[in-house]
Amino acid sequence: MVISLKCPDCGADIQLDNDREFGFCMYCGTKVLITRENNADDFLESVRKLLNAGLNNEAKDCAKKECEVHPTSYKAHLVRYICGEKTELQVAQKLAPQEDAELLEQAIKKNQELDAWKAKNPHSLERDSVLTEIETLKGLIRSEQKFNNGMPSFLMARDSKMKIQKYEERIAQLERWYNEIPGLIAQRKRLENEISVNKNRLKERI
């Protein structure tokens, strides 16, 4: 059986044999995956089973193939977002039906909040690594002081004074950071949990 499709690369109208798994565009030579008559239903049935089984990578691959043939498939892009492709969220929003618009707006907002949190807190949240850096800096201060034979700060070389001041400022910054870590971890977990809840609600729309 011959079916009509659009080439995903050049957009030309093409006709291919539905009995094959793929064909080639006669205009640009692009390989085109061929779907069956009930492809949309088959895709949704397959992807639901994969998602319910926790096979997110397989569901994502299935959705990618669907997008190659049907670039405007809202649910295919939505599956890709749910399975970890965050960039697909913007595409899904543009294609979304009205009843899903609010959930997608919430998803975008929460992801933006998490991105902002990461940009503001690029440092490690491991308290042990912070303590290790503090101890290293204290060791450097002791080395500078030893190098200057324990002289009082007003007699030290200018270069040594600047180094010690820099180390002390960094230690003060790390100590503040050390005390803030538990609260920052709680913020991140809250945002990640809200995104996860939102994804589960979107998954119910598949």
Residues 49, 22: one domain?
no
Q: What is d(CA 89, CA 73) in angstroms, rounded to the nearest whole number?
A: 13
Residues 45, 17: one domain?
no
Across all residues in the chain, what is the average pLDDT? 86
Q: Identify whether 107 is part of a domain.
A: no
Q: What is d(CA 57, CA 66) in angstroms, rounded to the nearest whole number?
A: 14
Pair 44, 27: CB distance under 8 Å: no
Q: What is the pLDDT of residues 34-85, one digit of tens each?
A: 654 445 677 888 899 999 999 999 999 999 988 988 888 999 999 999 999 9
Q: Identify whether 108 is part of a domain.
A: no
For CA atoms 95, 99, 100, 103, give the dihedral sign. Answer: positive
pLDDT value, residue 190: 95
Q: Identify whether 158 is part of a domain.
A: yes
Residues 30, 43: one domain?
no
Residues 24, 61: one domain?
no
Residues 23, 56: one domain?
no
Q: Identify whether 125 is part of a domain.
A: yes
Residues 89, 47: one domain?
yes
pLDDT value, residue 82: 96
Higher pLDDT, 123 or 60: 60
Residues 1, 30: one domain?
yes
Domain containing residue 21: 1-34
Top-ranked range on mean pLDDT: pick from 13-22, 147-156, 167-176:
167-176
Q: Identify whether 134 is part of a domain.
A: yes
Q: Identify whether 114 is part of a domain.
A: no
Average pLDDT of span 172-181: 89
Side-chain half-sphere CA neighbours of 195 within 13 A: 20
Higher pLDDT, 15 or 149: 15
Average pLDDT of span 87-105: 93
pLDDT value, residue 35: 57
Residues 130, 68: one domain?
no
**pTM for this prediction:** 0.63
Residues 163, 147: one domain?
yes
Residues 54, 86: one domain?
yes
Which pLDDT band holds residue 121 (cuts at 50, 70, 90)? confident
Q: Kindly state the helix (H) or strand (E) to which residue 8 belongs, with its residue range.
A: none
pLDDT value, residue 8: 79
pLDDT value, residue 124: 67
Q: Identify whether 102 is part of a domain.
A: no
Residues 29, 76: one domain?
no
pLDDT value at 22 more than 80? no
Give the strand pairing for 13-17 and 2-6: antiparallel
Q: Identify whether 105 is part of a domain.
A: no
Total domain count for the chain?
3
Residues 21, 49: one domain?
no
pLDDT value at 4 more than 90? no
